[in-house]
Chain A
């Protein structure tokens, strides 16, 4: 049917080749503009209609996600989501991906990813108080392992470089290794900011107001990066490779202080960061959200390099730039404020009635596009089909698996696997405490806790995703991701308020890729509804596939929870001897999609564990109640590696051992290393044991008193065998692997 459509002029065809804009979208552009666009205008569309900026493949699916909740002050649609935490305070948070830039240049890619999400939080009027990150890498072993090691070092170094210098603590995160990330490492950064509810800012501008540009000068950095981020990393990208964007945390810090002071002194009515696609998206989106137009004068834009043309200026992704709309009469104060910090702060645009984005250079109009034409990209719903390989992996029968004769060596083997070993070598490179709010540091608990100065309150934060579950069952995997992130927040005493999701998937234009994206989002939506946790922000990163690998769908779910009383919190480590160890849930786990299968048999197969969301919600409520009633101070969820790994992890922080007994007759490997959700271990002393177990009975949850803490060994009594490991021996095998990657 193509040929029946209006033919495309030859000049246009050249530009289409150059920009990679498909003919049908070009026709839509011409229709919306009522004429053929010039080259600059076409590039504006290329950027704004890129997946990264327009969500054209995901927006229809994202509508499935529940976005309302009692605590939600700002849902998806602004620079970050905002939830009320009481006493006049709120927190803003969002996750953002920087996968492709990090694959090209790990240090700067990760650093600018952190810088970018920080500015999203600032744009809401919030002071950033915590950073999290979720990282995915390929193989550590063999030849391919060399590149992985290089990437790990670079990415961790880049996150540390930016976060440490700008003075925001990195308090939680996750690192996961899987072969399918070999060509597409994932680097998602999350930031949480604190604000007074009455200082909530939006990306708005009112008629006639000047629009200010503040921060770093514009150079030829990451030209076309946003579009770049939406293309598969393939050989021919080498040519297209943009000038690497370099982050400057020093300037970023000054820009942050200037921005927060401007907001706190009420000098500005609208704030917007310049993220991906720089001037183009920040200004056109601000105009569109305000239902107005905007006239930009490029001659006023501070420039770092000479001879930059309008296209370069519009596409530049130079870092550390913000957009402000000053309150009437506050212009001079705003300029003075940034002068104090030694930063540019100049008017570059004017808000106009006519709903167009008009760009002037050298006194002439070089581009003029209707703002809604740019903002509302066409969306796509595509046909989907599950990959047959995944189907067959999932339907593999695991009941016939041999039971290892000797189970003792398996625990150290699991603890020294890249996905379960100690993360200390990673997070000790991050400043975890600047701001002096970190009440639970990485390694001490399943989620980080940040107290809110001036209140008795605190928030708990964690980001999670299990790629193996998601690979074998995208829908169930996504449900697990939210359930686990929320569980991690609950076991430290936090009540989940909302989440942000970083959806990392493959190519949506392939049936398998679109199936995984769609199933992931509907799984999230279902879990979201069942657990009563709404989404307030997020990010979508697609096309994460290379010539030989497609990443597993990776929904990185960042949950923020509230502790009404900072004192009512729990950590992960056994503290003293003689406490009872109670398991909420049952010892028996499943082998499907387990780390145990992978580590012991290099087998990735079967169904991920079943997930009863009703029981999950009850389980989380129960542990929060136990913590709130001072019945426990030590809790930890049972995740990858199963019961044995969870117990070992609890012995490490204070080197306090334990003895537990499991009476079940089921296959011992499933009892020790099988995985299942809705399981939490906690300790309680003799005096409170009865009250604790009564609470669990009343909430109708299965539970088991497994044993007691104490000694310098972890002992597990099974019906037919007894297993014993020295805590220090386990600890040293657990600490070694990543230390070798990050010396």
Chain B
């Protein structure tokens, strides 16, 4: 059972994601973006960073990488696909997830801790979390303002596709970037493709200030073990 962590030119959270997965007992390979075949991998991660320098738009040029066709094929076949931060941006740009991620309303890159509420705990990515559990996770992005037109937004809500929402809690947290409906993470209709702006891989050890991201990796491990 192995997970592919895709490395685009300019990805920079690939090793961190690998580290978090390996710590959770999940085997990984770093897979260069020109790789045309992901046969044999049981899940795919698109890590954070600045693919192609985030030139033009964050994640915009990554959709042209050869590996993306293969990522789409796995997604269509129901394999778990996770895009974190720049990975989320790439997934929307490539059309694997609806909507888009625009420049933060504060117009600058923002690195800080946010609070997000787990809106669904019935996914392969969230099963170990409590219903509506509030997580402390770091964000680090300049283009994280989720946008989608009204119909899409309605469909997302009706289809319970919003997985993570920024929340304010005891004067802390709040919406850091102007995302519509405080959206921090969504899944596709089928529920196997997840995109999220916060960085779970940066919250898996006490020494890093939070362990709230660990649940995502553990949930995935369980899901994959059941499949296997």
Contacts and interface: CB of A to CB of B under 8 A. Distances in A.
Interface of A: 157, 160, 164-167, 248-251, 253-254, 340-342, 427-436, 438-439, 441, 451, 453, 566, 742-743
A341 B9 contact: yes
Contact of B12 (A166, A427, A439, A742): A166
B176 to A, nearest CB: 10
Contact of A253 (B10, B108, B209): B10
Interface stretch (B48-56, B87-95, B178-186): B48-56
Interface in B171-203: 199, 201-202
B138 interface: yes
Given A167-B49, A253-B9, A433-B140, A439 B208 contact: yes
Interface string B94-115: 0000000000001011111000
Contacts of A451: 207
Contact of A434 (B10, B16, B32, B207): B16
Given A167-B12, A431-B140, A566-B207, A250 B53 contact: yes
Contact of B19 (A248, A453, A566): A453
Contacts of A342: 9
Across the A-B interface, give the 4 residue pairs with the lowest CB-CB distance, nearest first: A167-B12, A250-B53, A165-B50, A436-B16
B13 interface: yes
Contact of A431 (B15, B111, B209): B111
B55 A433 contact: no
Contacts of B9: 250, 253-254, 341-342
Given A250-B52, A430-B111, A432-B111, A165 B140 contact: no
B53 A249 contact: yes
Nearest to A439: B207
Contacts of B140: 164, 431-434
B110 A434 contact: no
A439 B210 CA distance: 11
A106 to B, nearest CB: 15
Nearest to A433: B202
Interface string B13-36: 101100110000000000010000
Contacts of A429: 108-111
Contact of A433 (B52, B109, B208): B208
A355 B125 CA distance: 64
Contacts of A435: 15-16
B50 A433 contact: no
Nearest to B49: A167
Nearest to B9: A254
A601 to B, nearest CB: 36
A439 B206 CA distance: 9
Contacts of B208: 433, 436, 438-439
Interface string B43-62: 00000111011110000000
Nearest to B17: A436
Given A164-B140, A428-B110, A434 B53 contact: no
Contacts of B53: 165, 248-251
Contacts of B52: 250
9 contacts: A167-B50, A249-B53, A250-B10, A251-B53, A253-B50, A428-B111, A428-B112, A436-B202, A436-B205
B198 to A, nearest CB: 12
Nearest to B205: A436
Most B CB contacts (10 A, CB to CB) among A428, A429, A433 go to A433
Contacts of B54: 165
Nearest to A424: B112
Contacts of A248: 53
Contacts of A254: 9-10
Given A253-B9, A429-B108, A433-B138, 17 more contacts: A164-B140, A165-B12, A167-B13, A249-B53, A250-B9, A250-B55, A253-B10, A341-B9, A427-B111, A429-B109, A433-B202, A434-B140, A435-B16, A436-B20, A436-B201, A436-B204, A439-B207
A180 B53 CA distance: 37
A164 B199 CA distance: 14
Contacts of B209: 441
For chain B, which range describes its interface: under 10, 10 to 19, 20 to 34, or 35 or more residues? 20 to 34
Most A CB contacts (10 A, CB to CB) among B111, B204, B208 go to B111
A206 to B, nearest CB: 33
Q: Would you call the interface of chain A mostly helix, strand, loop, or mixed?
A: loop
Given A436-B201, A441-B209, A157 B108 contact: yes
Contacts of B112: 428
A733 B133 CA distance: 33
Interface in B126-141: 138, 140
A250 B19 contact: no
Contacts of A251: 53
Contacts of A341: 9
A451 B19 CA distance: 14
Contacts of A250: 9-10, 50, 52-53, 55
Interface in B50-78: 50, 52-55
A179 B149 CA distance: 50
Most A CB contacts (10 A, CB to CB) among B199, B202, B204 go to B202
Contacts of A431: 109, 111, 140
B204 to A, nearest CB: 8
A433 B20 CA distance: 14
A249 B54 CA distance: 10
Nearest to A341: B9
A742 B106 CA distance: 10
A429 B106 CA distance: 11
B114 to A, nearest CB: 12
Contacts of B15: 435
A165 B12 CA distance: 8
Nearest to B32: A340
A441 B108 CA distance: 19
A433 B111 contact: yes
Contact of A249 (B50, B106, B199, B201): B50
Nearest to A430: B111
A157 B111 CA distance: 13
A98 B49 CA distance: 26
B16 A164 contact: no
A453 B55 CA distance: 32
Contacts of B108: 157, 160, 429, 742
Given A165-B54, A451-B207, A253 B12 contact: yes
A261 to B, nearest CB: 12
A292 to B, nearest CB: 36
Nearest to A567: B207
B202 A164 contact: no
A246 to B, nearest CB: 12
A384 B24 CA distance: 63
Contacts of A164: 50, 109, 111, 140
Contacts of B20: 436
A112 to B, nearest CB: 15
Contacts of A249: 50, 53
Contacts of B204: 436
B2 to A, nearest CB: 21
A104 to B, nearest CB: 22
Given A435-B16, A451-B207, A165 B10 contact: yes
A154 to B, nearest CB: 12
A615 to B, nearest CB: 33
A434 B50 contact: no
A434 B109 contact: no
B19 A434 contact: no
Contacts of A430: 109, 111
A595 B53 CA distance: 42
Nearest to A655: B171
Most B CB contacts (10 A, CB to CB) among A342, A427, A435 go to A435
B146 to A, nearest CB: 20
Nearest to A432: B111
A157 B142 CA distance: 12
A344 to B, nearest CB: 15
Nearest to A153: B108
A164 to B, nearest CB: 6
